[in-house]
Structure 1
Amino acid sequence: MVSRVIPVDPFDLVIFGGTGDLARRKILPALFRRFSDGQMPEEARIIGAARTEQDGAAWAEWVHKALKEFLPKEECDKALIKAFLERLDYLPIDAMGEGGWKELKGKMRDGVTQAFYFSVGPSLFGALAERLHAHGIAREDARIVVEKPFGRDLASARALNATLAEHFNETQIYRIDHYLGKETVQNLMAIRFGNVLFEPLWNAQYVDHVQITVAEEVGVDGRGAYYDKSGAMRDMVQNHLMQLLCLTAMEPPNRFEPDAVRDEKLKVIRALDPVAPADIVRGQYVGKQSYLEDVEDPSSRTESYIAMKLHVSNWRWNGTPFYLRTGKCMKARGSEIVIHFKDTPHSIFEEDAGNKANVLSIRLQPNEGIDLRVTIKEPGPGGMRLVDVPLDMSFADALGPDVGHVPDAYERLIMDVIRGNQTLFMRGDEVEAAWAWTDPIIEGWKARGEKPVPYETGSSGPEEALMLMHRDGRRWRDIV
Structure 2
Amino acid sequence: MNGMNNTIVIFGGTGDLTYRKLMPALYNLYQTNKLGKDRIIAIGRRKYTNEEYHKIIYNWIERYARMKFNSDLFNDFIKQVDYYEMDFTNHEEYIGLIDYFNGKNLINPIFYYAVAPQYFCTITDGITASKNCCDGKVIIEKPFGNSLEEARRLSKKLEDSFGSENIYRIDHYLGKEMIRNIESIRFDNLLFANSWNFNSIENIQIQALEEVGVETRGSYYDHAGALKDMVQNHLMQILTLVAMERPNDLITIQDRQIEVLKALRPVNQLDIQDSLILAQYEGYKDEDNVSKDSKTETYAAMKLFIDTPRWKGIPFYIKTGKKTGSREMNVIVTFKKSSSFVEANKLVIKIQPLEGISLKFNMKEPGESEDIVQTEMDFCQSCISKNRINTPEAYERLLFSCIQGDQSWFSKWDQILLSWEYIEELKESYLEKECPIYTYKQDTPGPDVVNRLLNDESHEWEESQLYCKLQESDLLHK
TM-score by length of 2: 0.90
Question: Which structure 2 segments of 5+ residues have no match?
Answer: 463-478
Residue 163 (structure 1) shift: 1.4
Residue 9 (structure 1) shift: 4.2
Secondary structure (helix, strand or coil) at the match of 2:378 reads strand
Match of 1:280 among 271, 276, 282: 276
Distance 1:201 1:153 in 2: 39
1:33 aligns with 2:33: no
Distance 1:370 1:147 in 2: 29
Matching residue of 1:246: 240
Matching residue of 1:92: 85
Write out per-residue CA displacement over residues 50-77 of structure 1, whole angstroms, 9 at most, x where no aligned residue: 22233222221221232244348x8332
Are 1:153 and 1:439, in contact at CA under 8 Å, matched by a contact in 2?
Answer: no
Residue 40 (structure 1) shift: 2.1
Matching residue of 2:412: 427
Secondary structure (helix, strand or coil) at the match of 2:254 reads helix
Task: Specify whether residues 171 and 465 from structure 1 end up closer, same or farther in structure 2 by C-alpha distance, changes over 3 A only.
Answer: same
Give the partner amino acid of 1:118: Y
Question: Matches of residues 7-46 of structure 1 in structure 2 within 5 Å?
Answer: 9-41=4-36, 43-46=37-40
Question: Matches of residues 46-195 of structure 1 in structure 2 within 5 Å?
Answer: 46-71=40-65, 75-96=68-89, 97-99=91-93, 100-106=96-102, 109=105, 113-140=108-135, 142-195=136-189
Give the partner amino acid of 1:75: K
Match of 1:386 among 369, 372, 397: 372
Are 1:8 and 1:40, in contact at CA under 8 Å, matched by a contact in 2?
Answer: no
Are 2:25 and 2:65, in contact at CA under 8 Å, matched by a contact in 1?
Answer: no
Matching residue of 1:3: none
Matching residue of 1:477: 458
Match of 1:200 among 187, 194, 198: 194
Residue 403 (structure 1) shift: 7.5
Distance 1:152 1:437 in 2: 16
Matching residue of 2:441: 456
Match of 1:264 among 250, 256, 261: 256
Distance 1:181 1:150 in 2: 18
Task: Specify whether residues 12 and 330 from structure 1 end up closer, same or farther in structure 2 by C-alpha distance, changes over 3 A only.
Answer: same
Match of 1:406 among 391, 396, 399: 391
Are 2:2 and 2:404, in contact at CA under 8 Å, matched by a contact in 1?
Answer: no
User: How many aligned positions are there?
Assistant: 453
Are 2:142 and 2:169, in contact at CA under 8 Å, matched by a contact in 1?
Answer: yes
Matching residue of 1:395: 381
Distance 1:200 1:208 in 2: 15
Residue 280 (structure 1) shift: 1.0
Question: Which structure 1 segments of 5+ residues have no match?
Answer: 1-5
TM-score by length of 1: 0.89
Secondary structure (helix, strand or coil) at the match of 2:407 reads coil
Task: Specify whether residues 225 and 59 from structure 1 end up closer, same or farther in structure 2 by C-alpha distance, changes over 3 A only.
Answer: same
Residue 449 (structure 1) shift: 4.1
- C-alpha RMSD over aligned residues: 2.1
Residue 162 (structure 1) shift: 0.9
Are 1:174 and 1:425, in contact at CA under 8 Å, matched by a contact in 2?
Answer: yes
Secondary structure (helix, strand or coil) at the match of 1:158 reads helix
Give the partner amino acid of 1:128: I
Higher relative contact order (CA 8 A, sep 6+): 1
Distance 1:342 1:107 in 2: 66
Residue 179 (structure 1) shift: 0.6
Distance 1:14 1:269 in 2: 33
Secondary structure (helix, strand or coil) at the match of 1:332 reads coil
Residue 357 (structure 1) shift: 1.7
Secondary structure (helix, strand or coil) at the match of 2:410 reads coil
Secondary structure (helix, strand or coil) at the match of 1:283 reads strand
Match of 1:368 among 345, 355, 365: 355
Secondary structure (helix, strand or coil) at the match of 1:52 reads coil
Compare 246-255 and 438-447 and name the one that shifted more.
438-447
Are 1:91 and 1:104, in contact at CA under 8 Å, matched by a contact in 2?
Answer: no
Residue 7 (structure 1) shift: 5.1
Secondary structure (helix, strand or coil) at the match of 2:190 reads coil
Distance 1:156 1:167 in 2: 16
Distance 1:87 1:32 in 2: 10
Task: Specify whether residues 455 and 79 from structure 1 end up closer, same or farther in structure 2 by C-alpha distance, changes over 3 A only.
Answer: same
Give the partner amino acid of 1:221: E
1:321 aligns with 2:307: no
Compare 94-103 and 21-30 and name the one that shifted more.
94-103
